[in-house]
Amino acid sequence: MDHLSSESVIFDSYGFSGQVGMIWQVVKAPLIVPVLKLLVMICLVMSIMLFIERVYMGVVIAFVKLFGRKPNKRYKWEAIKDDIELGNSAYPMVLVQIPMYNEKEVYQLSIGAACGLSWPSDRIIIQVLDDSTDPAIKSLVEMECQRWANKGINIKYEIRDNRNGYKAGALKEGMKHSYVKQCDYVAIFDADFQPEPDFLWRTIPFLLHNPHIALVQARWKFGTAGVWRISALNEAGGWKDRTTVEDMDLAVRASLKGWKFVYIADLKVKNELPSTFKAYRYQQHRWSCGPANLFKKMAMEIIRNKKVSMWKKFYVIYSFFFVRKIVAHIVTFLFYCVVLPATVLVPEVEVPKWGYVYIPSTITLLNAVGTPRSLHLLIFWVLFENVMSMHRTKATFIGLLEAGRVNEWVVTEKLGDALKIKSTTKASRKPRLRIGERMHMQELGVGAYLFFCGCYDFAFGKNSYFIYLFLQSMAFFISGIGYVGTFVPTS
């Protein structure tokens, strides 16, 4: 009893901060230091994996650009020629699908662009798959389809009585209509896509003259889009709604059937980036959770597949899925936003300089080479990517564990020209700022942690981590109070 009372006296004399300090000293050596050393080792291994992958991809890209032949030289490509005897029947029948959901701001742009594709009018079907739940928007989309139909365009307006499977479900239902059986190929454009009129002239010949090619991919301004061979799509099992990355799911299944893909880098399709931070977060959640969940569901299927080589299996499982879709997200957040800052508080744990300087610098430069015009934004990009890595990491674990939000599908809000119109018609009105719409507590919490570690390192540290920690904490704070992206007033 005397021993306990003497300890209580000591704790009382030190106060609360003293008690916390003593507890920290007691648990640090036997618990914190070993765990932190293990985490550092894991992060360094993941960093090396990511480094090797990025170097490998950099070498491949450089080799292709320097010595590789363009797709129209590597594969047979001939412009489709008119045939007097066959007439338009010499052209394959093409289906163009446009899935949409309450796309009030962009439906006219996407439908107009699809109807403006240069192709014989009797050899193309435009299929608008409208899952809108707003009756007013549904009516507007139907009227737009009717307007183009009155101009002689073969356009079909299709709806269903539920949203099962979201986009994949809509595409799957769209393929069941009887008129689709006439078609050889299907081009799919999201509601914000605006292909150039010559899109089909530049893509279809690859499919027409190379029967082993399943998909011809073009570039968005930021991403990819393409045209599928319907027979390959069906052979691969068609659209499935088991994940939120239905296009990746289909592509992997088709590749396991032995089908080939062609990517045309110089064929670009205009589209819209998420304009608000909220929309971008939802999009990144879907794009991170979906691949992780698909990896979990397909890993054994890929291993057991007998139609592809061991090298291809290794590439798909390790390189494509594990390193790029899982390790890349986890190591970015865990190492640079959790573990490295924690070593400031535990100086017994050291991180080698090659781990926190040379490897990340090389990876960053390799990523930046593809967009040299944006090099002046490199620092801002790195800081923002680290912020987003928090959401990507969380989404990755949700996908792997199949937790609550694994199949959450929040359609990315499209603005089209709406913001421009609002800014001109309501220039005198200032948007009403609601704290609830602006504040993001997760970002603010991580920002506070980084700022605390930065202050501690500034006062007691030896590695000058505080420069990075202060900058990164500011990035989290700026994101946390909503000053990222466009703010769209609710009224």
Residues 77 and 209 sit within 8 Å (Cβ to Cβ): yes
Residue 69, φ and ψ in degrees, nearest 5: -85, 150
SS3 per residue for 67-115: HCCCHHHHCCCCCCCCCCCCHHHHCCCEEEEEEECCCCCCHHHHHHHHH
DSSP codes, 149-167: HTTT--EEEE--S--TTHH
DSSP codes, 315-332: IIIIIIIIIIIIIHHHHH
130 is catalytic: no
Instruction: State both tokens at 390.
Output: 């928090």
Which of 130, 131, 192, 249 is catalytic? The answer is 131
131 is catalytic: yes
Q: Could you give the count of Cα atoms lying within 13 Å of 130 in the half-sphere of its Cβ?
A: 29
Provide the b/e sequence for 16-42 (b: ≥16 CB within 10 Å): eeeeeeeeeeeeeeeebeeebeebbee
251/342 Cα distance (integer angstroms): 41
130/163 Cα distance (integer angstroms): 10
DSSP for residue 485: B
Residue 407, φ and ψ in degrees, nearest 5: -110, 20
172/430 Cα distance (integer angstroms): 44
Which of 190, 241, 247, 457 is catalytic? The answer is 247
CA distances (Å), origin 102, targets 194, 279, 412, 488: 18, 15, 11, 17
249/246 Cα distance (integer angstroms): 5
DSSP codes, 438-454: H--HHHHHHHHHHHHHH
Residue 416, φ and ψ in degrees, nearest 5: 55, -125
Residues 128 and 211 sit within 8 Å (Cβ to Cβ): no
CA distances (Å), origin 253, targets 177, 235, 236, 288: 23, 9, 6, 19
Residues 273 and 203 sit within 8 Å (Cβ to Cβ): no
Positions marked catalytic: 131, 247
